[in-house]
Amino acid sequence: MKSRAALLHAVGEDWQVEEIEVDAPEAGEVVVEWKAAGLCHSDEHLVTGDMVPPEEVWPLMGIDEFFPMLGGHEGAGVVVELGPGIDTVAVGDHVSASFIPACGRCRYCSTGRQNLCDGGGGAFQKGMATDGTSRHRVGDTELNLMANLGTFSQFSCVAETQVIKVDSDLPMEAVALVSCGVATGWGSATSRAAVGAGDTVVVVGIGGIGINAVQGAAMAGARHVIAIDPVEFKREKAMEFGATHAYSSMEEAFPSVQDVTAGMMADQVIMTPGVMYGDLMALGTALAGKGGTIVVTAVAPVTQTESSVNLFELAMWNKEIKGAIFGSLNPRVDIPKLLNLYRDGHLKLDELITKRYALDEINVGYQAMRDGENIRGVIVHG
C-alpha cells in the first residue's frame, strides 16, 4: 500500500515527507494505521547524529546503510492487516507502539525485564525484526525504520511483539505519549530510582522525559521534587506536574538542596537533559547524598566515553549510578497500567501536549522543541 511518511536522508538534514510503499505483512507481523505519533527527542538525535553510530563500526553492528530512515517510535494506531500466526491482536484493535519488543521468551523477558528484550538488538538495522527482510521502500531503496516502528508514516508494517493492545476508548494522543516518553520518565523515578515517600529528588532537564520523572516522583510520595532546566516555561510546567522547587541550573539548585535536606543532599538524582554529556555528571553526582542514586536516562552521543565522576566520593559515600531504558518498566504490563492511571485521573497526559502538528509540519514541531517552546509536540495523522 502507499503511505505518506517522514524520512531522514542524512545527519543534519530536515525530515522530508514522501510517498513510500508498504508491503503486506509476513508471519508474525501486522500493518498498523498510525493515528498519532510523539515528536520524541530520540528521533532528533538522528538529525544531530548523536544516535547515529560511527560508520566505521557499522559492519560490527550488522548495518549496511543507515539512511534513509523512516522516523517515529512513539505511536498509537489501529491494526488494519494481519500476517500469519497473529494471536494477540486483531484487525480493528487499537494499539500502542512498543519501541522495545517483548518476545516473552528471552532471558530478560522471562525474568521480568522486558525493557532489555533481546529482540531490540536490531533497532538500527534495515529489515523487519521478524526475519530481517524489508517491507518499506521508496522505489528500489529499502528504508530503515526508527526502532523498527516508523510511526512518522500513516501506515507501517511492524512485528507483533512491538504492538500492545489498548482499550479503544482511550485518546490516541495519550496512548502515543505513554509508549515512550511518559513511561521512560515515570519509570526512571518510580522504578529505576525507586523513589519513596519522604525522599528528596532532583530532576535535571524538563523535557518530555524529565517532566514525567517529576510526575512519577511526586506520585511516589517524594517530599521535595526539585526540577532543573534553563527554560522558564519548562520550570513553570514542572511546578504544575508536582515539582516543589525549580531552578535554572544545577549550580543554582545546589544551595537549595543543601538547605531543604539539612545538608544531607538528594536521595535520587535523575539525569534527563536533552543531550547527556559526561561533564554534567560532576554536579549530578554531587547533588546526591550518602547512599544516593543517580539515574542516567538521557541519550548521550554514541561516541561519548568519558564522564566526570568523583570516584572517591562514589565509593566512600556508597552512591550508585544507574542507566535506564524505558524507565526499567515492562511494556506489556506498564503501558496499560499507566493508561489506567490516566483514566482514573491520577496521571496527567493531556496536559503534556503543547501543540499538535500535521505530518507536513514535522520540522516546525522539532524546531519548537529545540527552541524550548514545547513540552510535547504530537503529530496527528490525517
Calpha distance 132→342 (Å, rounded): 36
Q: How far apart, in Å, are the Cα atoms of 237 and each of 55, 56, 208?
A: 39, 42, 11
Could you tell me if 256 and 225 are in contact, meaning their C-beta atoms sit under 8 angstroms apart? Answer: no
Q: How far apart are the first and last CA of the chain?
A: 16
C-alpha cell recorded at residue 148: 523498527
Calpha distance 195→190 (Å, rounded): 5
Could you tell me if 292 and 313 are in contact, meaning their C-beta atoms sit under 8 angstroms apart? Answer: no
C-alpha cell recorded at residue 155: 501506515
Distance of CA 6 to the CA centre of its chain: 19
30 by DSSP, 3-state: which? strand
CATH number of 185-324: 3.40.50.720
pTM for the whole structure: 0.95
Calpha distance 368→180 (Å, rounded): 20
Every domain range in the chain assigned CATH 3.90.180.10: 2-169+349-380
Neighbouring CB atoms inside 10 A of 304's CB total 13
At residue 373, φ and ψ (nearest 5 deg) are -90, -20
Could you tell me if 206 and 236 are in contact, meaning their C-beta atoms sit under 8 angstroms apart? Answer: no
Q: Along the 382 residues of the chain, how does pLDDT read in single tens digits?
A: 999 999 999 999 999 999 999 999 999 999 999 999 999 999 999 999 999 988 888 888 888 889 999 999 999 999 999 999 999 999 999 999 999 998 889 999 999 999 999 988 777 788 899 999 999 999 999 999 999 999 999 999 999 999 999 999 999 999 999 999 999 999 999 999 999 999 999 999 999 999 999 999 999 999 999 999 999 999 999 999 999 999 999 999 999 999 999 999 999 999 999 999 999 999 999 999 999 999 999 999 988 899 999 999 999 999 999 999 999 999 999 999 999 999 999 999 999 999 999 999 999 999 999 999 999 999 999 8
Q: With 0-12 CB in 10 A as exposed, 13-18 as middle and 19+ as buried, what is 307?
A: middle
Every domain range in the chain assigned CATH 3.40.50.720: 185-324
Give the domain 2-169+349-380 fold: Quinone Oxidoreductase; Chain A, domain 1 (3.90.180)
225 by DSSP, 3-state: which? strand
311 by DSSP, 3-state: which? helix
